[in-house]
Amino acid sequence: MDPQIAVLRQQYLQLVEPSRLSFPPVNLLQQSTFQAALCTSLFTPGAWDAAPPPPPERYTARVLKRLISLLSEGGGHDQTMTETIVAENSLQGEKEEEEEEEKVHSQPPQKRPRPDQLLASPKHQEIDERILNLYTRLLSNPPTSTQLPPTSKENVTYTLPPSPFSGRPIGPPVTLLESRAVISGSGTTGLRTWEAALALSEYLIASHLGRFYKFPGATVVAGERLVEETGSVLELGAGTGLVGIVAARLGAGRVVVTDGDEGVCDALKVGLEKNGVTDMMSVRRLVWSEEEEGEEGDEGERFDLVVGADVTYDSSAIPHLVAELVKQFNRNPSAKVVISATIRNEDTFSSFRDSCVRNSLLLLEKTWTPPTPPIFYYPPNTPIRIVHVTRESPE
């Protein structure tokens, strides 16, 4: 597969905002052979080997609209500008496109765009007919945006990077059902994968492959491989479970993903089943610092690695999070603990740092710099820190 198409496919499956997709220069897009390969690789799921489920039609229509617009504009496409559009504009652009979609569907069928009309337009002469046909077919489908409840879920697929030994991906892609709403209608943030989870997943991969690839700024503890093949991993506040599934893909012997919300735990079970990792992974409801059923004090299960993504955003939960980390260190003093934190409010993170100090926990922090080329795709709006937590040695 053409490398530029491979990147586009990864972004497309991850539902990257269309304005941020890495389309190649228009002179390449205009080539009929490239458009044909694009149709097969992105818009013809039946042609894929071991294909993940395709994105929702509403998203595909938005991508096609962007593609047709670039081809129609000719040389007016500035790739650098496209890649630096900030995410704040993305949600606004999506809303505007949904409103336009509804406006199209409000028209009688005879007034909606037809393939023959698009093909007849001089500015569309260089566009593959299959692209125009698919776009007009999607426009003719009933609108969905007003029918989707806040908790509606869509397939989002995360593609893992290649192994330096075989050149093939280090594991199958991870497909999750996510609610793209910022906070779902059920009041939880655990039904979508947040940027901190993508960063922590990249960090685990970087520590696994760092000896073969250079990941600028990727390591806090140089040369440390976090996921061991016989090791056990506990994920706190797992949300969609991406970090835990990545750990399983990297060869962890046993992974337990936890969350305090029962609905999120139910969704986690579906995600594990969907990705075929139920043999080495399990789901557990865990309310931080509370004793688990059948366990007392420090006699509970021991884990080699404890991870958590975006678990420091709620200042009221920080004392319970730190108590949970202390509990894990009591069970296994040599455990590795790594969290990723999106710094939305410096005061909130400072309260986490202060609470750790009061409980004799040491933090080693570094602002995360995504690897190049990227493994996953997300806007660099807010700084993310990778934090190693260790227990202070007794004197």
Half-sphere exposure of 33 (CA within 13 A, CB side): 2
Cα–Cα dist 324/331, whole Å:
11
CA of 2: how far to CAs of 28, 34, 150, in Å? Answer: 12, 9, 37
Q: Is the dihedral of CA 353, 359, 365, 368 positive or negative?
A: negative
Start-end ranges of CATH 3.40.50.150 in the chain? Answer: 154-391
Per-residue b/e over 285-315, b at no fewer than 16 CB within 10 Å? ebebeeeeeeeeeeebeebbbbbbbbbbbee
pTM of the model: 0.84
> pLDDT (tens digit, 0 to 9) for every residue of the chain, 395 residues total?
889 999 999 999 999 999 999 999 988 999 999 999 999 999 986 655 567 888 999 999 999 999 999 988 764 444 433 333 333 334 445 555 555 555 545 555 555 555 555 554 555 567 898 998 999 888 887 655 445 555 678 999 999 998 777 778 889 999 999 986 554 444 455 578 999 999 999 999 988 887 665 555 545 665 678 888 779 999 999 999 999 999 999 999 999 999 999 999 999 999 999 999 999 999 999 999 776 655 555 568 999 999 999 999 999 999 999 999 999 999 999 999 999 999 988 999 999 999 999 999 999 999 998 887 789 999 877 799 999 999 987 65
Neighbours of 272 (CB within 10 A): 22
Cα–Cα dist 182/87, whole Å:
13
Which pLDDT does position 83 carry in this prediction?
Answer: 36
Neighbours of 103 (CB within 10 A): 10
Which pLDDT does position 192 carry in this prediction?
Answer: 86
DSSP one-letter code for 302: -
Which pLDDT does position 81 carry in this prediction?
Answer: 34
Which pLDDT does position 92 carry in this prediction?
Answer: 46
Which pLDDT does position 73 carry in this prediction?
Answer: 74
Considering only CA atoms, which of 383, 381, 341 is closest in space to residue 89? 381
Cα–Cα dist 14/176, whole Å:
10
**Residue 172 DSSP SS3:** coil
CA 295 and chain centroid, separation: 34
Tokens of 235: 């994920």
Residues sharing a CB contact under 8 Å with residue 19, sequence separation 6 or more, in sequence order: 66, 82, 85, 89, 90, 93
Which pLDDT does position 80 carry in this prediction?
Answer: 37
Which position has the token pair 């059948």?
294
Neighbours of 99 (CB within 10 A): 10
CA of 90: how far to CAs of 62, 147, 345, in Å? Answer: 12, 21, 22
**Residue 240 DSSP SS3:** coil
Q: What single-letter amino acid sits at 296? A: E
The CATH topology of domain 154-391 is: Rossmann fold (3.40.50)
Tokens of 277: 């990792």
